[in-house]
Each structure stands twice: as structure tokens, then as C-alpha cells.
Amino acid sequence: MTFAYKRLFAAAGLTLAATPALAHTGGAVSGFASGLAHPVLGVDHLMAMVAVGIWSAAGPARTAWRGPALFIAVLGLGAVLGMSGLALPFVEPGILASIFVLGAMIVAARFLPAAAGMAAIAGFALLHGHAHGVEAAGAVSGYMAGLVLTSALLHAGGYVVGRLVSGMRYGMIVSGMAVAAGGLVLAAG
């Protein structure tokens, strides 16, 4: 087994061993620093952002920006809906499901029509954004700026990982399965 595959399987194992975290506490969050920190400290958000980046790396490089850009735009829309008090059904279960489904999308990336993937990304972004909007308080613009910045950086990091593993024989499949398994671990916890 090559060194690259050993690293890939080690990363998959760490994803499976991760303990669930309560990313959406229901408490108010405020300010730029909170916005910067949440995508990294909220395991659900971290995994979803990286997964969107990995999925984007499976397609042509010239269109790779579309998935992350759509996620960021709809994340903002969902946050506005959450801040306005509009209730959406199944937000938390949908967020947990998003990780599993995004992992499955990575596994099936070469067979999944791009439009179907983009529709799923938009739906999941709406749910993630809504949860963040409900929690936002005080310095909302700073919080959202930090959230968007860190989310975009995580998308870019996922894209880099996706480009690296796409050169491996089963790299995308294993990374997608690791993301999906991580989603199942979060859902079970």
C-alpha cells in the first residue's frame, strides 16, 4: 500500500473516530470572531464545507467555483430567513443528513448530474444558513462576515483535498465514504 493511500485511510479513520459536537446550541452568537470560529468548531459545518469543496474538485476545474459560490450565497439567504424569524422544518436533521448526502455525492460525483448536485448543495446551504441566522445576535454583520470567510476557506481547502485525492485510484470514493461515515457518526451521537 502506498504512502498516499495510508494517509487517505488514516484520515478516513480519524473522521470515523470523531466524537459528535453540538454545533447549533440554540444560544446567541455574535461578532466577527464567533463567525470565524463556528465553521471550524462546529463539526457539522466543517464537514459540509470541506465536502462541498471535494465534490467541486470532481468536476471540470473551470466550473469548480460554482458549488462553493452557490453554497455561500444560499447560506446568506438562509441566515436572513433565520434572523427574520421564519421557521423552516427539519433544519437540524437536514443539516446532519447533508453530511451523509454530500459524502454520497462525492462517491457518485462522476455519475451525478451537476444540476442535481447543485440543487442538493443549495438545499443544504439554506438549512445551514437558517440555523446560523437563528443563532445570530448583536453584531450580526460581523458574525456573518466571519462565517462566510471561514466557510469559503474551508471550501477551498476541500477543493485542494479533492484535487489531491482525485489523482488516486479510489481517492474520491474513499474520501466520500469517509465524509458519509462521519455524517452517520454525528447523526448517531
Across residues 50-75, what is the average pLDDT? 96
Across residues 20-47, what is the average pLDDT? 77
Q: Residue 27: what pLDDT? A: 59
Give the whole-angstrom CA distance, residue 130 versus residue 124.
Answer: 10
Q: Does some domain include residue 12?
A: no
Give the whole-angstrom CA distance, residue 2 versus residue 108.
Answer: 24
Q: Does some domain include residue 34?
A: yes
**Range of 82's domain?**
26-188
Q: Residue 49: what pLDDT? A: 97
pLDDT in tens, 71-119: 999 999 999 999 999 999 999 999 999 999 999 999 998 899 999 999 9
Q: Does some domain include residue 180?
A: yes
Annotate 84-123 with b (16+ C-beta within 10 A) or e (fewer): eeeebeebeebbbbbbbbbbbbbbbbeebeeeebeebbbb
pLDDT at 43 over 60: yes
> Do residues 15 and 178 touch, judged by C-beta distance below 8 A?
yes
Q: Residue 6: what pLDDT? A: 54
Q: Residue 3: what pLDDT? A: 58
Ranges assigned E (strand) in 50-163 = none
| Number of domain units in the chain | 1
Say how many residues make up the chain. Answer: 189
Q: Does some domain include residue 119?
A: yes
Q: Does some domain include residue 15?
A: no
pLDDT at 17 over 70: no
